[in-house]
A and B are shown apart, each in its own frame.
Chain A
Amino acid sequence: MEGKKRLVYVCEGGDCSERGSIELHAELADALHEKDGAGKNRLRKYPCFGGCEHGINVVLFPDKVFYSQVKMADLPEIVEHLTGDGQPLERLTGKVAKDVEQIVWDLLDTGF
């Protein structure tokens, strides 16, 4: 049913939500509703990515892009990438440890 949609996960864990991830999720939802007419993306919340000290964390799957320290100000560029052909925002990647990224990919591979 998901087809080939990209899954966009926003962490709703303790640290990330304290940093405003719930509001960021809502803002992203509005932006995608407005700009993702083709329905390329499906937005979801995620319980915790284990990258708490680098929140807010946003993960794209199956692209396997792990964004950290995401701020509201980053959303326009993120949405542009999600809805167009732009590249991932490199400045937001590579902040969490590799093993943390890997367990997240392993879990997402199982459908979690």
Chain B
Amino acid sequence: MALLLTRPEGATTESLAEHLAAGGYEALAKARAGSQEELIALVRDSDLRGRGGAGFPVARKWEIGRAALAETKHVVVNGGEHEPGSRKDRFLVAKTPHKVLEGAAICAYATGATSIVLYLIEDMTDAIDAARKAIDEATASGHLAGLSIRVALAPTTYVAGEETAALEVIEGRKPWPRKKPPYPGQAGLYGQPTTVQNVETLAWIPGIVTHGAAWFKPGAMLCTLDDSFARPGIHEVPLGTTLRALVDEIGGGTRGGRPVKALLPALSSAFLPASALDTPMTHEAIRAAGSNLGCGGFSVIEEGACIVERAAQIADFFKASQCGQCPPCRMETATIATVFQRAAAGEPGEYAAQVEKIAAFTKGKGNCSLIEMAAAPALSALRLFPGDFDAHAKTGRCPTA
């Protein structure tokens, strides 16, 4: 039974009355009845990690927020879900906004924040409407007393979902990631300590507070399967589920019915080969297999499909999506995109060496992790599927066309 995904895709937005009938805002009251330390200890026991992509332990982030000395602290609910294909955060805000607000209010209590900003992409109109209505309802009913809560709109630009780019947008500037340190927990919104937490992450919190850490274990995450699966959509997947079960049982297999050639856990992750399908879906195991769970926006590539063209599309996306602030990132994304354009056109070349060199040069440079994001799918495509590149070079076109 789903723990978080309690509202079906076609359902209306959960109202305050419905949320209260399901025990809503009791978790906030329960959390506030205890100490901040007890609350953070509970979250630590649950081993909840951030669901925005980085997988940072939530309790550690909250501890940094709590320990920060400042009169005003903030919580930013990051709904900057710009990863193509991912739509779980939008869904949660659109369907269960009070759950998200309650989680944010609990986070505010844990960290000593009095201000909450819901950061939502400007084209998520259903989520924006639901969030505004829910804020009005819960403010009028007194459930969010003592908190200042507002919605801020993000541009559709990919990099606007990066947490410090979000802070820049909320402060009225363009979405350029900040140089770190300082991290938002030290100096975030308006230079004040800010806990930036993904929507899904916060939506898990009320359940953990109400039912205890054991309820959440072994943990679960919402995954958005794109239409390369036979059964696309948002699914709640228990951590530890093998990738094979994710594809076959949850996703219904590949859309074309052919065996898996590769799996992409997120656009900004490395490809995983079919030989990795028995890997359990945990942050550690996926990392050990050479990729990253990211925000769980899965795509599958079936046998017969060409990796070169897919990698070229991804490289073009990152070239177009980098913000232009950091020269190494411009250089890397432009270089990788050109390499794959040439490969796709069948021009012979030392593609692997070129991407390896530029990725090694730019690693760790720049203000955000987009540099690593662009390199991961490119490097893995070249390392795992050299035959596809050779075939392109020999025939001058896609061998599967």
Interface residues of chain A, those whose CB is within 8 Å of chain B, are: 13-15, 47-53, 99-100, 103, 106-107, 110-112
List 8 other contacts, CB 8 Å, given A13-B330, A107-B335.
A50-B328, A50-B331, A52-B327, A53-B327, A103-B331, A103-B357, A112-B339, A112-B354
Q: Closest residue to B350 on the A side, CB-wise?
A: A110
A53 CA to B361 CA in the complex, in Å?
18
* B252 contacts partner chain A, Cβ-Cβ < 8 Å: no
Q: In the complex where A14-B324, A48-B335 touch, is A107 in contact with B354 (Cβ < 8 A)?
A: yes
Q: Note all chain A residues with C-beta closer than 8 A to B349.
A: 110-112
**Can you identify 16 A-B contacts, CB atoms within 8 angstroms?**
A13-B334, A14-B330, A47-B338, A48-B330, A48-B334, A48-B335, A50-B328, A99-B361, A100-B327, A103-B331, A103-B358, A103-B361, A107-B354, A110-B354, A110-B357, A112-B349
Nearest B residue to A48, CB-CB: B334
B353 within 8 Å of A (CB atoms): yes
* Residue-wise interface mask of B (332-361) relative to A, using a CB-CB cutoff of 8 A (1 in contact, 0 not): 001101110000000001100110011001
Q: Which residues on A sit within 8 Å (CB–CB) of B358?
A: 103, 107
The interface residues of chain A lying within 8 Å CB-to-CB of B354 are 107, 110, 112
Number of contacting residues on B, CB 8 A?
Answer: 17
A47→B337 contact, CB < 8 A = yes
Task: Tell which of A14, A15, A112 touches B335, judged by Cβ atoms closer than 8 Å.
Answer: A112
| A-B interface pairs (CB < 8 A), number | 51
Chain B residue at minimal CB-CB distance from A47: B334
* Overall SS of chain B's interface: helix
Complex: how many Å from CA A107 to CA B325?
A: 22
C-alpha gap A106/B362 in the complex (Å): 13
Docked-complex contact A107 and B357, CB < 8 angstroms = yes
- Least Cβ distance of A19 to chain B in Å? 14
What 1/0 mask marks residues of chain B from 228 to 269 whose CB sits below 8 Å from any chain A CB? 000000000000000000000000000000000000000000
Chain A nearest Cβ from B174, distance in angstroms: 15
**C-alpha gap A111/B347 in the complex (Å):** 11
A102 vs chain B, min Cβ distance (A): 8
A50 CA to B327 CA, complexed, in Å: 5
A49 touches B357 (CB 8 A): no
Q: Cβ of A49 and Cβ of B339 under 8 Å apart?
A: no
A106 to B359, CA, bound (A): 12
Cβ contacts under 8 Å, A48 to chain B: 327, 330-331, 334-335
Given the complex of chains A and B, what is the CA–CA distance between A14 and B324 in angstroms? 8
Taking a contact as CB atoms under 8 Å apart, the answer to whether B353 and A110 are in contact is: yes
CB-CB < 8 A to A47: which residues of B? 331, 334-335, 337-338
| A53 CB to nearest chain B CB (Å) | 7
Kindly provide the distance from the CB of A81 to the nearest chain B CB, expressed in whole angstroms.
26
User: Considering the chains assembled together, what is the distance between the CA atoms of A107 and B334 in angstroms?
Assistant: 13
**Closest 7 CB pairs between A and B?**
A50-B331, A47-B334, A48-B334, A52-B327, A103-B361, A110-B350, A48-B331
Q: Which of B331, B338, B353 contacts A49 (CB 8 A)?
A: B331
Q: Looking across the interface, which residue of chain B has its beta carbon closest to that of A49?
A: B331
Closest CB of chain A to B333's CB: distance in Å?
A: 8
Q: From A103, which residue of chain B is reached at the shortest CB distance?
A: B361
Complex Cα–Cα for A107 and B350 (A): 10
Interchain nearest-CB distance for A59 vs B (Å): 13
How far is the CB of B322 from the nearest CB of chain A, in Å? Answer: 9
- Min CB distance A4 to B, Å, is 21
Q: Which chain A residues lie closer than 8 Å to B328 at the CB level?
A: 50
Known contacts being A14-B330, A47-B335, A50-B328, is A111 close to B357, with CB within 8 Å?
no
**When chains A and B are docked, how far (Å) is the Cα of A51 from the Cα of B335?**
13
Residues in B whose Cβ lies below 8 Å from that of A103:
331, 357-358, 361
Contacts of A53 in B (CB 8 A): 327
Among residues of A, the one whose C-beta sits closest to the C-beta of B325 is A52
